A = this chain, B = another copy of it.
Amino acid sequence: MSLPQTRAKRRPNDPARRQRIIEAAARVVAEHGVDALTFRAVADAAKVPLGSTTYYFADKDDLLVSTIRTIRERNEKSFHDLLQPLVAEHGLAGGLAALVEEVTVRQHPQLILEYGLYLSTLHRPALRKEIAQWRMDAVARPYCDDQTARLLGFTLEGILLQSVMEDVMFFATDVEPMLAKITDGK
Q: Which A residues have a C-beta under 8 Å from some C-beta of B? A: 32-33, 35-36, 112, 115-116, 118-119, 121-125, 128, 135-136, 147-148, 150-151, 153-159, 161-162, 164-167, 177-178, 181-182, 185-186
Contact = CB atoms under 8 A, between A and B. Distances in A.
A55 to B, nearest CB: 12
B186 A185 contact: yes
Given A123-B35, A177-B147, A159 B154 contact: yes
A154 B165 contact: no
Question: Top 6 nearest A-B pairs by Cβ distance?
Answer: A33-B123, A154-B158, A157-B158, A158-B158, A186-B186, A151-B178
A81 to B, nearest CB: 22
Contact of A181 (B156, B166, B182): B182
Contact of A122 (B125, B154, B165, B181): B165
